[in-house]
């Protein structure tokens, strides 16, 4: 398996522009997570999906952020409009459902976002 795939790997944009990050989870995984990592705040959960349905979006910082999962193999995280404080590494992770033994989350390589 190719693992969790994210694109783009790097994104540089100007303040006010729309940014779309993409994620393809591991095939067969029914949970998908979006995280943001910064030096100041560490690794923070933004939102997670189960079977394509958003379960908890309490970590989404504000209305400028939105996430979708139209099918089991694709998810997007959109920021509109982007601001310099959104600069971070955004990780997507996936895991298979089941008991506690299946809670290992596999992370994608991340998207490094820089908003100028």
Site of interaction with other proteins (CB under 8 A): 31, 33, 42-45, 48, 50, 55-56, 91, 95, 97, 100, 103-110
Using the minimum distance from each CB to other proteins, give the nearer residue, 3 or 16.
Answer: 3
Query: Which residue(s) pair with 25 in the sheet?
Result: none
Using the minimum distance from each CB to other proteins, give the nearer residue, 70 or 99.
Answer: 99
Least distance from C-beta 67 to other proteins, angstroms? Answer: 14
Using the minimum distance from each CB to other proteins, give the nearer residue, 10 or 80.
Answer: 10
Structure tokens that stand for 81 in this block:
């409009």
Q: Which of 77, 90, 71 is nearest to 30 (CA)?
A: 71
Q: Tell me which H or E stretch contains 74.
A: strand 74-79
């Amino acid at each position: 398996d190719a693992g969790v795939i994210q694109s783009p790997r790097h994104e540089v944009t100007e303040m006010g522009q729309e940014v779309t990050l993409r994620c393809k989870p591991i095939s067969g995984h029914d949970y998908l997570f979006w995280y943001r990592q910064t030096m100041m705040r560490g690794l923070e959960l933004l939102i997670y999906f189960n079977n394509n349905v958003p379960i908890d979006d309490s970590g989404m910082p504000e209305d400028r952020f939105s996430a979708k999962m139209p099918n089991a193999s694709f998810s997007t995280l959109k920021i509109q409009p982007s601001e310099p404080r959104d600069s971070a590494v955004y990780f997507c992770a996936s895991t298979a459902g089941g008991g506690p033994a299946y809670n290992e989350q596999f992370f994608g390589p991340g998207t490094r976002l820089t908003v100028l």
